[in-house]
Chains A and B, each alone.
Chain A
């Protein structure tokens, strides 16, 4: 085996935080071979991004590399003077980052930004540089590259910006590309495009990729080898196949078990108890010990070294070194609870042709020149005690649907009937009286709790406003019950939100909604800001609460795995309209609409195996939606009729309907 391209040995990087020194990296070693994709996977705060910045020596000012060696082709990068290091950056190591929207300089043209790399590292200037830049844009799949060179980043869509970032990285013809969560900020169909581009480029150019991600699905699709990171160190390294077939570290196994999906439906997801330990000192033993169900005495007193499972598979765990592997064999999960029987009660919530249009004002007199059709005729039904998932990519209008149900955004047309009462016509006090019936949980656990209020005040706010549990004593008692219900201890009531982790905050937000005993909760991406293991806790909680209280959920999400796990029915939204709906089984296992099919195939999964349908382009603007079927410009199966009018609703089964011309013939008519 040839020498590796890059070798990192015992990296230690410390950060000066307000609470003392944080040992963000505490002994990280790995190596990357030429032309391979090496993935580092881990949850937020484990140090994976810090690893990338340490390799390129681009750390923030509060961080410093304390110890370690980075060898790139034999050169010790950490020993190079800064001037020599600049010859490495962009030339031998290139980087792309998570947020393409902020990673490009907003006031410089695309051509200028690529040209800088060409001039700096290849000495290309003028027409030659321009030609080369255009080639690079072609290579990353940007059409009309000549024109795009003169454009500014704000004129490009999110996916295109990330393509430009990749072009920028390729410009120096690097040996190693560090991609730090390159698709996390992108929609799933765009993510699929970008990942495919990276794979394709690697095949053609043969550069190595260090891929940093939190998504095991992406790892399964992209990586040749995988490293799992936890609390500032790498705990397991393996070939992809070995890793997905038989991961060895208890933490790695928990990550898999925490993934929601069809297979775990109705059962509790595995959770990792406790939290990542603070990285402020030396660890005497294994840093996972407090959360590990297999821990034994030695784990507390001795930090585990590398145990070799196979030539290419190593793990930092005493279980392996002592051949106690038997303990690790998967235990059967809790028996899948029987699915709730089909609900026959009348609908709790009915949306009919709901429209939310935001006016666009322009010109001298601020006249309305157009509308953003955020929601453009949505009809839905949700029965008591059930979960309806509203699925779609960002900008499709799904959050606006949720807010307009709660009348936080007033619909411009259509009807929202809750328990037979038309909410859009209610005003003032009449609406206020109803508000206890429907509540909302928000995406960002940091923005959804007022940082200046105690938990008890946060929970009692709704009760006060709606006049439930008027007496102080009963309100106090109710707060205690709520905290217990969401799994927080009673001491939480007098603390402030900043003292809680993201998952705990989301529990508080759930308790706040529960406080007024709603019959419907609109959950707006409640787990998308959380790590996988925390997400599992919240999903378990939501499922349990539904069983206990019979609350109905409108679950807004882009994460299809969560839908599979939690929802009873699904509605798929595209550009303000619902294109397909039905039960989870119907839609997710037998999708009819080409968009649903593409969406499903774009999700990177561990199993793989789905037929790949790649969509071209990105979500069009909701101001000027394409004529006819909104999806036709991206649809692989579009034909002439699709350009003329929007297809009607076609029922493929009593519970499954789709709006697509492909099925109209079968049914014979549009409803």
Chain B
């Protein structure tokens, strides 16, 4: 098993290299630093001098891959690729266009993100599994039918409307919580209650329906018939047998997103004014700050790959067939 996990770790390296190359090509080859400078400077002030100055200020005044003017190792290191892309591997993200250190921002902003994303994840999982189980229990009845119809309807509503609707109802009409904002510590609860509620609600439709299919697939299997033939009640069968088997695909499917929780959610954070990585990213996109976007792309990939690793490990935990094999 250790060899297995080690091999998965090794497998992650070429993927990260691939991600890095894609971002490099996207950010520096498809569009040259000159283009970025022009965009940042705005149409009016574009002169060759200004462009050079902007590039020098932001460290883009180097050749892309090979620096012919430098000597020795510097030929390879004193380049945009090495300075901007390769450094990501050691989590050195450099500075944003406004001069602030991106690494510092990430370290401070990931906690508010997590404070929002983690409850959404945990509560959402619990709620969806509960709803899906009750639909599976009442399968092929009217409850099941209307439950699925409700799920489809809820799936058909854009997340944007969940947020806008939630803010309107809970904050504006009922005045229960502030409409947006954030405070550290225990005060965060009142700011986070609504975003968490909205996050869970917007995921119920697709989540419940998806888990319901998994449960129904399991209830059709032979071992369920065996369990019924033992004289177990339908609830015992559902909790004692079906749930345990269904958790294998459910948990392993959910585990992959756990590391990504640090990245926060773009929409909720920007609507509710939570100073997390999601709103950081969205601000960067809107300000066209490429350094931040590049850093977030790489960070997201690293976390996704970590999620894949966690998935592999979680398989060995929940499924005895993998654990003992």
Q: Judge A-B direct contact (beta carbons within 8 Å).
A: yes
Which A residues are closer than 8 A to B by beta carbons?
56, 58, 61, 83, 86-91, 94-95, 97, 99, 102-108, 116-117, 120-121, 152, 154-155, 165, 168, 172, 362-364, 366
Q: With contacts A102-B222, A107-B244, A362-B3 known, is A56 near B229, CB below 8 A?
A: yes
Report which of B139, B223, B229, B240 forms a contact with A89, defined as CB distance below 8 A. Answer: B229
User: Smallest CB–CB gap between B298 and chain A, Å?
Assistant: 26
Say yes or no: is B169 at the interface (Cβ < 8 Å to chain A).
no
Contact A105 B232 (CB under 8 A): no
Say yes or no: is B174 at the interface (Cβ < 8 Å to chain A).
no
Say yes or no: is B77 at the interface (Cβ < 8 Å to chain A).
no
Which residues in window 294-325 of B have CB below 8 A to A? Answer: 318-321, 324
Q: State the CA gap A104–B229 with chains docked (Å).
A: 12
Residues of B within 8 A of A154 (CB): 320-321, 324
Residues of A within 8 A of B43 (CB): none
Chain B 197-232 per-residue mask, 1 if CB under 8 angstroms from chain A, else 0: 000000000000000000000000111011111111
Q: State the CA gap A120–B231 with chains docked (Å).
A: 8
Q: With contacts A121-B231, A152-B324 known, is A107 near B248, CB below 8 A?
A: yes
Which residue of A is nearest B219, CB measured? A61
A-B contact list, 26 entries, CB within 8 Å: A58-B225, A88-B231, A90-B229, A90-B230, A90-B232, A91-B231, A95-B226, A95-B229, A97-B225, A97-B226, A102-B221, A102-B222, A102-B223, A103-B223, A105-B244, A105-B245, A106-B245, A107-B244, A108-B244, A116-B232, A116-B240, A120-B232, A152-B320, A152-B324, A165-B226, A364-B7
The number of residue pairs between A and B whose CB atoms lie closer than 8 Å in the complex comes to 85
Residues of A within 8 A of B226 (CB): 95, 97, 103-105, 165, 168
Which residues in window 159-216 of B have CB below 8 A to A? Answer: none
Q: With contacts A89-B230, A90-B231 known, is A104 near B223, CB below 8 A?
A: yes
Report which of A56, A99, A120, A364 forms a contact with B222, defined as CB distance below 8 A. Answer: A99
Contact A103 B233 (CB under 8 A): no
User: Smallest CB–CB gap between A469 and chain B, Å?
Assistant: 47
User: Smallest CB–CB gap between A271 and chain B, Å?
Assistant: 33
Interface size class of B (residues with CB under 8 A): 20 to 34
Q: State the CA gap A170–B229 with chains docked (Å).
A: 12
Q: With contacts A152-B321, A364-B3 known, is A105 near B229, CB below 8 A?
A: no
Main secondary structure of the interface of A (DSSP, over half): mixed
Q: With contacts A102-B221, A168-B226, A364-B6 known, is A107 near B320, CB below 8 A?
A: yes
User: Smallest CB–CB gap between A6 and chain B, Å?
Assistant: 16
Q: State the CA gap A364–B226 with chains docked (Å).
A: 40
Residues of B within 8 A of A88 (CB): 231
- 16 further contact pairs, Cβ within 8 A, besides A107-B319, A116-B240: A89-B231, A90-B230, A94-B229, A103-B225, A104-B223, A105-B226, A105-B241, A105-B245, A106-B320, A107-B244, A107-B318, A108-B241, A116-B227, A117-B231, A120-B232, A363-B7
Q: State the CA gap A83–B225 with chains docked (Å).
A: 16
Q: Which 5 A-B residue pairs are closest in the complex by CB-CB distance?
A: A90-B231, A89-B231, A102-B222, A90-B230, A105-B223
User: Smallest CB–CB gap between A83 and chain B, Å?
Assistant: 8
Which residue of B is nearest A107, CB measured? B244
Q: With contacts A97-B226, A364-B3, A364-B6 known, is A87 near B231, CB below 8 A?
A: yes
Q: State the CA gap A104–B226 with chains docked (Å).
A: 7
Say yes or no: is B287 at the interface (Cβ < 8 Å to chain A).
no
Q: State the CA gap A432–B6 with chains docked (Å).
A: 44
Q: State the CA gap A95–B229 with chains docked (Å).
A: 6
Which residue of B is nearest A62, CB measured? B140
User: Smallest CB–CB gap between A77 and chain B, Å?
Assistant: 13
User: Smallest CB–CB gap between A361 and chain B, Å?
Assistant: 11
Q: State the CA gap A366–B232 with chains docked (Å).
A: 45
Q: With contacts A154-B320, A155-B324 known, is A103 near B230, CB below 8 A?
A: no
Which residues in window 6-24 of B have CB below 8 A to A? Answer: 6-7, 10
Q: With contacts A107-B244, A108-B241, A363-B3 known, is A89 near B320, CB below 8 A?
A: no
Residues of B within 8 A of A90 (CB): 229-232
Which residues in window 39-94 of B have CB below 8 A to A? Answer: none
Residues of B within 8 A of A363 (CB): 3, 7
- Name, among A97, A105, A117, A363, the residue most crowded by chain B CB atoms within 10 Å (CB to CB): A105
Contact B229 A86 (CB under 8 A): no
Contact A89 B228 (CB under 8 A): yes
Q: State the CA gap A628–B221 with chains docked (Å).
A: 42
Q: With contacts A58-B225, A108-B244 known, is A120 near B230, CB below 8 A?
A: yes
Contact B231 A86 (CB under 8 A): yes
Residues of B within 8 A of A58 (CB): 225, 228-229
Residues of A within 8 A of B221 (CB): 102
